[in-house]
């Protein structure tokens, strides 16, 4: 391989990493916007890249491929760095809405740097594992099996599976305990005074007075409570009951509310994505994507508002361990493949599917670390494997890959499709960008964590709230402020109703499902 060509690719990777870092750290600025700017600047940038390539000993005709290397590197860097503003400023994007909740919890526990390291590690692992997976996957999706055309057929089923998994994630908080009676005998006037701890399947021995309910059901009243009796017949009076506990957790209320908020947020998301907004003819700011005020209202502002009662951010611990969760990185990478290949599968959907693959071992701390690692791995792996989809089928599954497709032109597939030597070079650029971005995220995260420690949280949160509202007004004008107000109100309700705010991701999932099935047009006539 020509060393001059390799050198140019490395320079392009560093340039892309720098641009992706800027977009990742700037609230409301997405890498897709950067990609569109690069494409629009193509008549100027491509000749400049060609001149730079000639100076370094490479061919001028490779300029479009250098541009693709910049775009792919920037997308990976953005995916790793955009966790920082979502953690410290509460300004989420589509790729970070799932990680902002455990990230804020860890920050308020003094583990903000640990959260940054877990997220950065997940991004690095996701990119590396995705690169390793590219060779075997190219043989399955491309020649000789050519299974890529079958992917579109499975898309609606995967999105529906994510919705079901999201609803079933509510385990419920109402616990009912019954005693399955094996033996019940009359006894002396003795009543159990120590309160039992019902554990499903374990033996139960209680003494008390048998009562009958309105439907004739048997209840045993002890000195500490009243327990439902099922199974064998129980005599009236004071009895000694022997049996086993049957403990069940009811989640009907929580799952019903989860469905409600999925539908409400989905309707709001569909209204926003289809530009059916009030005051659309009024001041619209810079015309930025309406997703910024939507996601900020659903996930960012409610967390900031709920933290107004806290005095200050606690001192941040130096995380020396717990960030090397390879298993969660692998789960995120596998789900990132779905995001990179399937149209309509967003990063949010990929995270939900990855969560359903298994739960991390350990307590709440381990679960938070694993979750952040997994979410970040989904983001970077979807970019790498989206590059594979572009190479094999010349289809862009994200804004960045669509921009790369436009840069390559009609004959671009032949230029990067394996076994073209350019595809390994693009993968190398992605790996370099991931490594540089990992280190950048850790260093910047450490500085931000130290700076945030001891900061008056009420003053800081008020300032951030004002900043986010101002950005929504500048980016999206009056429609953006209306969306921000409605979504903020909706975002404050789930915690008050004892369900997860994650169900508000219906604003992203439902529009994708409806758009893919063609039902969005019918629903928009109602909204």
In a domain, 55, yes or no: yes
**At which of 250, 273, 306 does a domain end?**
250
Angle at 232 between CA 237 and CA 229, to 5 degrees: 65
Mean per-residue pLDDT, 126-135: 91
In a domain, 268, yes or no: no
Overall number of domains in the chain: 2
* Domain identity same for 186 and 157: no
Structure token digits, residue 204: 């139960």
**At which of 250, 279, 307 does a domain end?**
250
The phi, psi pair for 229, rounded to 5°, reads -110, 130
Contacts 24+ apart (CB under 8 A), 412-421: 412/64, 415/64, 415/65, 416/65, 416/68, 416/390, 416/391, 417/142, 417/391, 417/392, 418/138, 418/142, 418/391, 418/392, 420/391, 421/1
* Domain identity same for 314 and 404: yes
In a domain, 280, yes or no: no
In a domain, 269, yes or no: no
In a domain, 278, yes or no: no
Q: Give the largest Cα separation in the chain, rounded.
A: 101
* Domain identity same for 156 and 203: no
d(CA 108, CA 386): 35
d(CA 143, CA 327): 30
Residue-level pLDDT at 491: 92
**Would the CA dihedral through 154, 160, 166, 170 be positive or negative?**
negative
Range of the domain at 200: 174-250
* Domain identity same for 370 and 468: yes
* Domain identity same for 345 and 438: yes
81-95, 385-399, 472-486, range with the lowest pLDDT = 81-95
| Digit-coded pLDDT (tens) for 282-315 | 555 555 668 888 888 888 788 778 777 665 677 7
* Domain identity same for 31 and 75: yes
* Domain identity same for 74 and 144: yes
* Domain identity same for 55 and 107: yes
| Digit-coded pLDDT (tens) for 330-342 | 888 888 877 777 7
Mean per-residue pLDDT, 100-120: 82
In a domain, 451, yes or no: yes
* Domain identity same for 201 and 230: yes
* Domain identity same for 134 and 157: yes
**At which of 250, 278, 302 does a domain end?**
250
How distant, in Å, are the alpha carbons of 220, 225, 246 from that of 179? 9, 13, 6
In a domain, 265, yes or no: no
In a domain, 260, yes or no: no
What predicted TM-score, i.e. pTM, was given to this entire model? Answer: 0.73
* Domain identity same for 216 and 307: no
* Domain identity same for 113 and 61: yes
More confident residue, 220 or 107: 220
Upstream peptide bond of 419 is cis (omega within 30 degrees of 0)? yes
Structure token digits, residue 120: 């950065």
């Amino acid at each position: 391989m020509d060393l001059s060509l390799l050198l140019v690719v490395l320079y392009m990777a560093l340039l892309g990493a720098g641009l992706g870092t800027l977009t990742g750290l700037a609230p409301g600025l997405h890498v897709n916007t950067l990609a569109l700017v690069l494409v629009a600047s193509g008549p100027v940038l491509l000749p400049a890249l060609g001149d730079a390539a000639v100076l370094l000993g490479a061919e001028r005709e490779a300029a479009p491929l250098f541009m693709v290397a910049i775009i792919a590197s920037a997308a990976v860097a953005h995916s790793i760095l955009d966790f920082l503003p979502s953690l410290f400023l509460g300004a989420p994007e589509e790729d970070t809405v799932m990680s902002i909740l455990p990230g804020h919890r860890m920050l308020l526990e003094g583990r903000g740097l640990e959260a940054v390291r877990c997220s950065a590690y997940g991004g690095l692992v996701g990119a590396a594992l995705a690169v390793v997976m590219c060779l075997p996957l190219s043989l399955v999706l491309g020649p000789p099996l050519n299974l890529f055309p079958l992917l579109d057929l499975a898309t609606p089923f995967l999105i529906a599976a994510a919705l079901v998994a999201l609803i079933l994630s509510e385990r419920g908080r109402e616990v009912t305990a019954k005693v399955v009676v094996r033996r019940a005998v009359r006894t002396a006037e003795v009543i159990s005074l120590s309160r039992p701890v019902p554990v499903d399947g374990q033996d139960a021995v209680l003494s008390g007075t048998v009562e009958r309910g309105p439907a004739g059901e048997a209840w045993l009243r002890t000195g500490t409570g009243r327990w439902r009796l099922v199974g064998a017949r129980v005599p009236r009076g004071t009895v000694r009951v022997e049996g086993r506990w049957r403990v069940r957790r009811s989640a009907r209320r929580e799952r019903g509310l989860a469905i409600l908020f999925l539908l409400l947020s989905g309707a709001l998301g569909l209204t926003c994505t289809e530009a059916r907004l009030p005051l659309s003819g009024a001041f619209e700011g810079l015309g930025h994507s309406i997703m910024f005020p939507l996601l900020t209202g659903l996930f960012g502002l409610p967390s900031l508002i709920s933290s107004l009662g806290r005095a200050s951010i606690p001192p941040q611990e130096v995380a020396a361990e717990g960030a090397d969760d390879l298993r969660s990185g692998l789960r995120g990478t596998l789900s990132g493949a779905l995001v990179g290949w399937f149209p309509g599968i967003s990063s949010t959907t990929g995270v939900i599917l990855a969560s359903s693959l298994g739960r991390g071992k350990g307590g709440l701390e381990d679960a938070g670390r694993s979750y952040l690692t997994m979410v970040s791995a989904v983001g970077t792996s979807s970019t790498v494997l989206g590059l594979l989809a572009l190479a094999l089928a010349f289809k862009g599954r994200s804004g960045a890959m669509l921009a790369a497709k436009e840069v390559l032109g009609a004959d671009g597939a032949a230029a990067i499709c394996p076994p073209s030597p350019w595809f390994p070079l693009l993968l190398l650029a992605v790996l370099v960008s991931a490594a540089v971005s990992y280190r950048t995220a850790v260093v910047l995260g450490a500085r931000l964590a130290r700076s945030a420690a001891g900061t008056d949280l009420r003053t800081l949160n008020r300032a951030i709230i004002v900043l986010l509202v101002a950005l929504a007004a500048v980016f999206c004008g009056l429609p953006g402020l209306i969306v921000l107000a409605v979504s903020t109100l909706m975002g404050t309700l789930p915690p008050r109703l004892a369900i997860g705010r994650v169900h508000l991701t219906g604003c992203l999932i439902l529009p994708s499902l409806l758009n893919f099935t063609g039902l969005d047009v019918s629903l928009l006539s109602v909204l």
